[in-house]
Structure 1
Amino acid sequence: MNILVTGASGFVGRAVVAELLSRGHAVTALSRQGKGVGGARGVAADVTDLGSVQRAFGQAGTVDAVVHLVGIIVEQGAQTFRKVHVEATRNVLASTPREARYVHMSALGADPASPSGYSRTKGEAEELVRQSGLNWTIFQPSLIFGLGDDFFGHTLRDLVRLPPVVPQIGDGHFPFRPVSIADVAAAFAGALELPQTAGQTYALTGPTEYTFRGLLNLQQRAMGKHKPVVPVPLFLMDLAVPLMGILPKPPITRDQYLMLKAGNTADPEPARTVFSMPMRRLEDDLPGIVNAARA
């Protein structure tokens, strides 16, 4: 199968490309830079520009399937959630051959009515996919962990590493069910090989549910830290987070705060049984993740 992968140079993209290649597929890696990824041929495109996307599809030749992974966690300048999640998805859908399979990366909690701009635009993009007339499958991953991830290898690591105490948002009971990058890659590749997954939406979550406090404790153990954890009342966070937005690099954005308070969990069984995911455990992989981030 000839597969075009958008966002191929990113954390998830590299893993998905590697999994597809290992299964014998031919892969074209679409990214802004146009560099090849792990043996896949590269093409350059700005997914927020329809003409650029159409030219990239033309360079890719015959496209049997499209895996659309492009997304951002933090808005920067012209790279807004609406432009990257909604407009880019519209451009990729318009460029995808009508007979091709289409697999879309959304996010757990995607909802057009969400107060979070991230989750709202992810939900709006899902609606475009469902109305596209293509042979689609949508995945909604939870927090994704693996070597090079942004949350456990950067955000949570800095939260534990930098302050003299570890700040905990509220009572720390918000639930999370992180999923490994290996499981995510297996699911995306599997969807292209299983016709019965067309027209379906799957949550991608791991085998264990944790509270936010539990994640902080795991992170401390993996990093060899023993700092006191200090709860920060939500009413103080509600006041502080908007003020942090004026900083060049705020420690937490409004959208990240809203998503943390909402939690991020779902039943892993529907996807696990369909895609035979390995279901790797966070506690097994976290020491390697933080050690690699330290290097």
Structure 2
Amino acid sequence: MNVLVTGATGFVGRAVVAELRRRGHAVWAGSRSGQAVGDAPGVPLDVTDPGSVLRAVAQANPDAVVHLVGIIAETGEQTFARVHVEGTRHVLAATPRGARFLHMSALGAGEIPGSRYSVTKGEAEALVQASGLNWTIFRPSLIFGMGDDFFGRVLKELVSVAPVVPQIGDGQFPFRPVSVEDVAQAFAAALEQPQTAGHTYALTGPQEFTFRELLDLELSALGKKKPVVPVPLALMNLAVPLMQVLPHPPITRDQYAMLKAGNTAPGDEARAAFGLPMHRLQDRLPDIVALKRGT
């Protein structure tokens, strides 16, 4: 199958491209830079520019489009609305009517008050569902793997920088992290299973953790022992808005809203449909935190 992948140079994109190639698909790696990914040729593709999207689709002539582009924080013109909603609209409009369309959403899409990330992910899902294409939507939890941003950078910095580890509230918010390999396998397998069209799948790992347990796992993987100090939500509610004046706030309003909401769901349906191996976070975390950024 001839497959165009948007966001192909990202953390998830590279894993999806590799899995598709492993299964014998011809893959075009779409990104703003137009960079090749492994042996998959690159094609310039900026989802916020409808002309760029049309040119990329014309060049790739895809039987399927895997739409992975998303942002976790707004920067300048790269807003959630522009990337998640308008970007998805542009890709849907350019996709051939007979093609399969696989869409990367997020667990909790449209369900988290105070999170523009969540709201726009929900709006993008609605566009996909109304597109008339043979779509499948995936909603992953936190995704872990070599080079990931959350466990390999954000949580690592949180437990490493200060002499104590700040814990948001009581730390009982639940999460069910899923490996990037499981995510990539789900996307690739869906292309080989036409019966998955019209379905939305939660992509979650085999075990649920509280936020406090994630902090403890991260400390253990780093070989550190530090006191974990709860920060009351009332204080966080005051502090997070003030942090937004910083050039690079340690936590954005959206990230704070999503942390408080948690990020979990049963993953049995996806595991059964796609035969996912369900890699465990605690088995992979030591290698993830040992990886030097930029390598």
Q: Identify the TM-score tier after normalising by the shorter chain.
A: over 0.9
Partner in structure 1 of residue 276 of structure 2: 277
Query: Given the alignment of the two structures, is residue 188 of structure 1 paired with residue 176 of structure 2, yes or no?
Result: no
The answer for unaligned runs of 5 or more in structure 2 is none
Distance 2:11 2:59 in 1: 24
Tell me by how many angstroms 1:58 deviates. 1.2
Partner in structure 1 of residue 48 of structure 2: 48
Partner in structure 2 of residue 74 of structure 1: 73
Distance 1:29 1:142 in 2: 24
Please tell me whether the aligned partners of residues 90 and 128 of structure 1 are also in contact (alpha carbons under 8 angstroms).
yes
Please tell me whether the aligned partners of residues 43 and 56 of structure 1 are also in contact (alpha carbons under 8 angstroms).
yes
Partner in structure 1 of residue 15 of structure 2: 15
> Is the deviation greater in 113-122 or in 216-225?
113-122
Partner in structure 2 of residue 91 of structure 1: 90
2:292 aligned counterpart, secondary structure: helix
Partner in structure 1 of residue 153 of structure 2: 154
Cα deviation 1:162-209 (Å, max 9, x = unaligned)? 011000000000000000000000000011000110000000000000
Cα deviation 1:23-79 (Å, max 9, x = unaligned)? 00000000000011011011002110101110111121x210000000000100000
Distance 1:224 1:198 in 2: 45
Partner in structure 2 of residue 35 of structure 1: 35
Partner in structure 2 of residue 109 of structure 1: 108
Give runs of ≥4 in structure 1 deviating > 6 Å.
none
Please tell me whether the aligned partners of residues 113 and 257 of structure 2 are also in contact (alpha carbons under 8 angstroms).
no
2:229 aligned counterpart, secondary structure: strand
Equivalent position amino acid for 1:260 in 2: L
Distance 2:82 2:273 in 1: 33
Please tell me whether the aligned partners of residues 154 and 293 of structure 1 are also in contact (alpha carbons under 8 angstroms).
no
RMSD: 0.9
Query: Given the alignment of the two structures, is residue 235 of structure 1 paired with residue 228 of structure 2, yes or no?
Result: no
1:293 aligned counterpart, secondary structure: coil
Distance 2:109 2:165 in 1: 29
Partner in structure 1 of residue 124 of structure 2: 125
Tell me by how many angstroms 1:112 deviates. 6.5
Partner in structure 1 of residue 3 of structure 2: 3
Counting only pairs closer than 5 Å after superposition, residues 250-269 of structure 1 correspond to structure 2 as 250-269=249-268
1:29 aligned counterpart, secondary structure: strand
Distance 2:220 2:228 in 1: 13
Distance 1:201 1:21 in 2: 24
TM-score with structure 2 length normalisation?
0.98
Equivalent position amino acid for 1:15 in 2: A
Partner in structure 2 of residue 25 of structure 1: 25
Equivalent position amino acid for 1:54 in 2: L
Tell me by how many angstroms 1:114 deviates. 3.6
State how many pairs are aligned: 294
Tell me by how many angstroms 1:293 deviates. 3.3
2:291 aligned counterpart, secondary structure: helix
Cα deviation 1:228-276 (Å, max 9, x = unaligned)? 0000000000000000000000000000000000000000101000000
Distance 1:289 1:229 in 2: 22
1:27 aligned counterpart, secondary structure: strand
Counting only pairs closer than 5 Å after superposition, residues 189-204 of structure 1 correspond to structure 2 as 189-204=188-203
Please tell me whether the aligned partners of residues 33 and 44 of structure 1 are also in contact (alpha carbons under 8 angstroms).
yes
Partner in structure 2 of residue 139 of structure 1: 138
1:172 aligned counterpart, secondary structure: coil
Please tell me whether the aligned partners of residues 5 and 17 of structure 1 are also in contact (alpha carbons under 8 angstroms).
yes
Equivalent position amino acid for 2:209 in 1: Y
Distance 2:222 2:111 in 1: 37
Tell me by how many angstroms 1:113 deviates. 7.0
Distance 1:51 1:113 in 2: 33
Equivalent position amino acid for 1:97 in 2: P
Distance 1:12 1:283 in 2: 20
2:97 aligned counterpart, secondary structure: coil
Please tell me whether the aligned partners of residues 166 and 229 of structure 1 are also in contact (alpha carbons under 8 angstroms).
yes
Equivalent position amino acid for 2:263 in 1: N
Distance 1:41 1:114 in 2: 40
Please tell me whether the aligned partners of residues 179 and 280 of structure 1 are also in contact (alpha carbons under 8 angstroms).
yes
